[in-house]
Amino acid sequence: MKITKFFFQNANSFVKRWKAQPFQVQWPRKHDKVFVAMSGGVDSSFSAYLLKKQGFNVEGVFMRNWLDEDDAPGGCPAEQDWSLVQKVCKQLDIPSRRFNFEKDYWTRVFEPSLELYEQGCTPNPDVPCNRYVKFGALYEALENEMSREWENGSCSTQQWWLATGHYAKTMKNASNNQVALCLPKDRWKDQTLFLCTVQEKALQRTIFPLHNLEKKDVKRMAAHAGLNESADRLESQGLCFVSPNVGSHFRSFLGRYLASSNEPIRVVANGKVVGFYPPSTGCWSYTIGERCGLSLPQGDPEFQGRWYIWKKEASTNTIFICHGSMNPLLFRKRIRVNHWTWSTEWIRQEASKSKGPIDCSVRVRHQQTLEPAKALFQGDGLLVVDFLNPQRALTPGQVLAMYNDELCLGGGSIAADEP
């Protein structure tokens, strides 16, 4: 088994010394029970295929997280997903079953997301869904079941695992069982951003069968294995039951749950009001960095060209726009991050030895290149991040994940207030 050494550098204790710790890929033993969280998509289906082929005791599990099928016309309604999961499991000759987590999703993911939208933020529901539902409610349900089966003698092993089709990697130090969430082979597809707040307890029993594969090869190999229907499916993320989950359809969906203002939304450019958006849309429906759709007088030299949203004030129902996609107002070099969660306790302890900022790399959106930065922790889940290079359209509510080498240190939410 390949051994990887991680080095932790920090402006004080870490800079003075490099600390190396050996880890190896976390993987089941022969005859271990492996539950595969399946959606019918190619990644989870092929993960189940790989584990079955390697001789593990595999069972497919499906989560239903939303009740209203009308929200998903032509998208990924739960019954269609469940039907495909059953079909794949039958093809692989493994058992399958479903869990209902509608309440967990509503209270831990959807309602908090609505609150953030109302505050003018743009949340990423994939992150709390992974933390509280897939690696929270599902993990706890499986843990309780395996404990009961062990106690009544209906299972032969206490060792079980939860596998998903994420492109990520868990590694473990065999000497002390310390676990680490790490980057996968496919750095472009890397999904550790969406997993950066998953609790350590769940990571201890989590494996990612696609950690050493690339997406293009997974689709090809899945089709070769006869998983054609899964291989041909479109990918989903965010609120997957809303299709499409971008644009006017998505805004219409959120509009069912978010109150609109009685007053039109003011649009401000160069310190003066230049127009209004209709009150039915709401500040929440506009995103920092996107092009302003307001019709401005192109005959006036002051307003010629393209304008972009650089700031929102939900409290005053105001959107601020600037000229040009590379306007300095769209860029920030320092941000505050709140609700910080360390990936593991041993990483938190290592970082706590610092008396100053930590040298790290960060990512604030999927498939973004890792950006060099320094992070200064202020306690109570707060930190200030200084980027080496100014970053465009840093959006309050979005998640920032932090890395050192291959290791994911944790994650938090970009705050609306300035440091």
The pLDDT of residue 18:
31
Q: Give whole-number Cα distances, 256 to 71, 101, 107, 147, in Å.
A: 11, 21, 17, 41
Q: Which has the minimum average pLDDT: 83-87, 145-149, 211-215?
A: 145-149
Structural domains for the chain: 3-243 (3.40.50.620), 265-325 (2.30.30), 331-414 (2.40.30.10)
Assess whether 240 carries a catalytic annotation: yes
Rounded CA separation 390/373 (Å)? 10
Identify whether 182 is a catalytic site residue: no
Q: What is the DSSP letter of 132?
A: I
Q: Tell whether the model's pLDDT for residue 7 goes beyond 70.
A: no
pLDDT in tens, 218-240: 999 999 999 999 988 877 655 55
Cα 253 to Cα 71, 72, 246, 248, 317, distances in angstroms: 7, 10, 10, 9, 21
Tens of pLDDT along 262-321?
A: 889 999 999 999 999 888 778 888 999 999 988 887 778 888 889 999 999 998 999 999
Residue 69 banded pLDDT, cuts 50, 70, 90: low
- Asked whether residue 148 carries a pLDDT value surpassing 90, the answer given is no
Residue 1 or residue 248, greater confidence: 248
pLDDT of residue 353: 79
Rg of the chain, C-alpha, whole Å: 23
76, 89, 240, 322: which is the annotated catalytic residue? Answer: 240
Annotated catalytic residue within 129, 196, 292, 322: 129
Q: What's the Cα-to-Cα distance from 292 to each of 274, 288, 296, rounded to whole Å?
A: 12, 10, 10
Question: Are 273 and 325 in contact, with CB atoms under 8 Å apart?
Answer: no
Report the predicted TM-score, pTM, of the whole model to 2 decimal places: 0.90
Is 286:309 a contact under the CB 8 Å cutoff? yes
CA distance 198 to 194: 9
Q: What is the pLDDT of residues 98-115, one digit of tens each?
A: 999 999 999 999 999 999
How does residue 192 score in pLDDT terms, banded at 50, 70 and 90?
A: very high
Q: Which pair of tokens denotes residue 104?
A: 């967990």
Burial letters 15-44, b for 16+ CB under 10 A, else e: eeeeeebebebbbbeeebbbbbbbbbbbbb
> For 350-367, how does the pLDDT look when each residue is reduced to its tens digit (9 = 90+)?
888 777 888 999 999 999
